[in-house]
Amino acid sequence: MPNLPRYFLLLLLTLGLTPLHAQSSSPSATAPAATPAQSLDQLGHQLDAVRSALKDKGAEAPLADLRNTALTVQDHASELASSLAPQMSALQAQLTVLGPPPAKGAPAEAPSVSAQRRQLNRASADLDAQIKQAQLLSQNALQLAAQITGMRNDQFQARLASRTASPFSSAFWAEPARTFPDDRLRLQELGTRCRDAWNEAWLPPNRLPLLLCLIAAALLLGVGRWLLERMLRVLATRRVPDGRLRRSAMATAVALSSVITTGLAAQLVYLGINWNDILDPDLDTLAAALVRLVFFAAFVTGLGRALLSAKRPSWRLPPMSDRTAQRLRPFPWLLGASALLLGLFERVSRTIGSSLPATVAARGLIALVISGLFGVALLRLRRPHHALLADEAVPAQRHLWVGLLGIAAAVGVVISWLGVATGFIALAYFVARQMLWVGVIVSTLYLLIHLVQDLFDTLLSPQGRSGQRLQAAFALSPNTLEQAAIVLGGVSRILLLLLAAAIVLAPFGAGPSDLIASAMQTFGSLKLGDLPIEPGSILTGVLVFAVGLALLRTLKRWLTDQLLPTTTMERGMQDSVVTLLGYLGGMLVFVLTLAALHVDLKSIAWIVSALSVGIGFGLQAIVQNFISGLILLAERPVKVGDWVSLNGVEGDIRRINVRATEIQLWDRSTMIVPNSQLITQNVRNVTLANALGRVSFKLPMPLDTDANRARTIILEALHEHDVTLGAPAPLVQLDSIDANCMVFSAYAYTNSPRDASGVKSDLLFRILERLREEKLPLIRPQDMLVRTLPASSAEPIDKP
């Protein structure tokens, strides 16, 4: 029964949970916390130990470990200085409350107050000294880490430039043969320790957990991978839309299934062997490292299988023919085994402390194996011309970066083999190892770029379900979604490329963390005037700006569609309120973004000065139009929906923007009028005070027309129309009489000026029909006839 919790944990692990090794609580967890002075002393001793190890030429401590120690000291010292700062502020506040000591001749203060002031001053001085000491330790540790980095670079370059005898000479094999007995004894000793640990793990107290772990690992490797891949395939088929995203998701699922099943199986074997902590520290470190190597080797194999997809060509991401995929099918397994061999050799060599000649010989062999695999793969990619023509799915054009990678791989293979042949084993080993590492990084980058781009394209597709939801929720156009997908895909691609470059192009002897720390330190020291440029602050500012704009847009949409329509405000007033809220909200978002960027007035004083000069010369009209727009929204002499007339331009106001107002003319075209013109010039607002529409027209009729009858017919038509008003009542007047006709003037009113034109047309049609029925014609235009007499009939002209 005491082992029941362990068996329960083991059962959970067999179901696919991440195995965790139960560890006893550290004795230091209950130890009292160290004081700041003690912490500073400990950090100083650690830094002195690093300096001593650097000065000791015979020390075997790796420079990477010494650098990590220095960086740890730097982090702890910085944290200690930051933790002491609030205490310093509290002491200063207490001293401020007590005030300065009384001047000479002033009444003496209470002894308790003087004693408290002295105590606070003494504590403040001690705390200030500790803060300065912590800051000095942090700076010294950072400088020491930079010094170690330089030493690592020098050591790495010296190691690459070192040369041994050629493997074709007997001198090269003489040293490994001389040290082989010692290396064999160390290896046999390690094997004996591993065998003893296995035998102890197989004893009855540990046999059942080990047996269960081995069975679970076998099931994972045998059936588990097939079940996991099938489950992921079914999930992708049912949940992922058909298209490129499903293809990239399938490829990712294949890679992840290999990593999860193989790595978890290795972890289960390690857990079963070390169930009761039977491994000594060295073997435990070696076993844990071996599990990580299995994870990495499984990732290499799964990534290669996912990209080749020899069995399922429809899942294949690279533009590769089926014959080429079949040719390269065994290489993911071989490269994964090579990666495992490489890591296992390094870990075992470090554990047993193998001799230098044996290490050099083994590294030369590993370099030949890895570079040889790449060489054979390149040769298989170069197919004969008839095979190229026989392929059914040959890519029409190969990308430039693919050709460059192929050339770089070929050069790496040549350098590695020549390095081994000429005795530059370290250089050959480094090139082969970097070829494997770069290949894994590039393949991972290729898969992630396709996955992220396909994900954005699917989620933001105007025809997709998520895209339609976004359009409905945020009133986005299809073009906006497509542009967002392109922009997000491009940004993610740039970030992935930068991350890959940070890993691949790391300085010699340094890791990605060194490059990231150096980049953070470089960007952290950049300033724009007095404004510091910090990547974290910039990302925070961009996030605040984007979230603020999204919330502001949502609020404006809620006001426009839900709240304001339920009020008694007219449409123009509602638009004015929403527009003013947009201006105020935009200013608030801008201020919050500046606060997130840690910008103060001093930092942007020069920007304000430059803007003032620009406003004085070139931006005066823009600022004038902006202020005029605010006045239009506040005083509302014109509003959205009004019918205005300005300088011969007549139409409806559709929108009042920051700089100009949009007026829609009768032909549906839009006139852009600066806001300042609506403030400084005469504007006729036809619909400002609920003005009535007026219908007026004139009818010329012959002099013999019955005037009373004509007037009655016209008035009846005016009264009978549905839109004309009864008050003011329609009116018909005899406007004028001349030698040719009499002219009737008719007037009627409507509720809106916008109705006047249509009502006038209806009335004219109706009146003409009535007059025709009553046989009351309108006057016709008089024709002018010009007759020319012949010359023979002309009267003679008297001559003087």
Q: What's the pLDDT score for residue 613?
A: 64
* Phi, psi dihedrals of residue 723, rounded to the nearest 5°: -95, -25
The percent of residues above 70 in pLDDT, for the chain, comes to 81
Q: What's the pLDDT score for residue 224?
A: 80
CB 189 within 8 Å of CB 101 = no
Q: What's the pLDDT score for residue 668?
A: 80
Which helix (H) or strand (E) covers residue 684, if one does? strand 684-685
Q: Mean pLDDT across the stretch 185-204?
A: 84
pLDDT band of 524, cuts 50, 70, 90:
low
Q: What's the pLDDT score for residue 176?
A: 80
Q: What's the pLDDT score for residue 7?
A: 38
Q: What's the pLDDT score for residue 643?
A: 81
Tokens of 141: 């540790």
- Higher local confidence (pLDDT), 506 or 199: 199
CB atoms within 10 A of CB 206: 18
Tokens of 305: 């299988």
Q: What's the pLDDT score for residue 602?
A: 59
Q: Mean pLDDT across the stretch 77-97?
A: 84
- Alpha carbons 326 and 324: distance in angstroms, whole number: 5
pLDDT band of 225, cuts 50, 70, 90:
confident
Q: Mean pLDDT across the stretch 722-751?
A: 86
pLDDT band of 685, cuts 50, 70, 90:
confident
Q: Tens of pLDDT along 482-510?
A: 888 888 888 888 888 888 877 776 544 44
Q: Tens of pLDDT along 127-176?
A: 888 888 888 888 888 888 878 777 766 665 566 567 777 788 887 888 78
**Residue 635 pLDDT > 80, yes or no?**
no
**Residue 520 pLDDT > 80, yes or no?**
no
Nearest-CA neighbor of 546 among 598, 484, 496, 492? 484
- Alpha carbons 559 and 672: distance in angstroms, whole number: 27
CB 436 within 8 Å of CB 455 = no
Longest dimension (CA), the chain: 161
Q: Tens of pLDDT along 607-622?
A: 666 666 665 665 667 6
Q: Tens of pLDDT along 126-137?
A: 888 888 888 888
Q: Tens of pLDDT along 425-452?
A: 888 888 888 888 888 888 889 989 988 8
**Residue 26 pLDDT > 70, yes or no?**
no
Q: Mean pLDDT across the stretch 98-120?
A: 77
pLDDT band of 58, cuts 50, 70, 90:
low
CB 772 within 8 Å of CB 717 = no
pLDDT band of 513, cuts 50, 70, 90:
low
- Higher local confidence (pLDDT), 391 or 367: 367
Q: What's the pLDDT score for residue 156?
A: 54
DSSP assignment of 131-197 equals HHHHHHHHHHHHHHHHHHHHHHHHHHHHHHH-----TTSHHHHHHHHHHHHHHHHHHHHHHHHHHHH
Q: Mean pLDDT across the stretch 311-333?
A: 83
Q: What's the pLDDT score for residue 16?
A: 37
Kindly report whether the global pTM for this prediction surpasses the value 0.85: no
Q: Mean pLDDT across the stretch 219-231?
A: 81
Q: Tens of pLDDT along 268-281?
A: 888 888 888 888 88
- Higher local confidence (pLDDT), 620 or 357: 357
- Alpha carbons 356 and 361: distance in angstroms, whole number: 9
- Alpha carbons 492 and 516: distance in angstroms, whole number: 18
Q: What's the pLDDT score for residue 785?
A: 46
pLDDT band of 678, cuts 50, 70, 90:
confident
- Alpha carbons 362 and 176: distance in angstroms, whole number: 10
Q: Mean pLDDT across the stretch 107-120?
A: 79
Q: What's the pLDDT score for residue 157?
A: 57
β-sheet bridge partners, residue 663: 653, 671
Q: What's the pLDDT score for residue 532?
A: 63
* Phi, psi dihedrals of residue 269, rounded to the nearest 5°: -65, -45
- Higher local confidence (pLDDT), 102 or 258: 258
- Alpha carbons 797 and 800: distance in angstroms, whole number: 10
The percent of residues above 90 in pLDDT, for the chain, comes to 0
Mean pLDDT, the chain, integer: 77
- Alpha carbons 372 and 177: distance in angstroms, whole number: 25
- Name the least confident of 189-198, 234-243, 261-270, 292-301: 234-243
- Higher local confidence (pLDDT), 697 or 166: 697
- Alpha carbons 698 and 259: distance in angstroms, whole number: 92
- Alpha carbons 666 and 688: distance in angstroms, whole number: 19
Q: What's the pLDDT score for residue 210?
A: 82
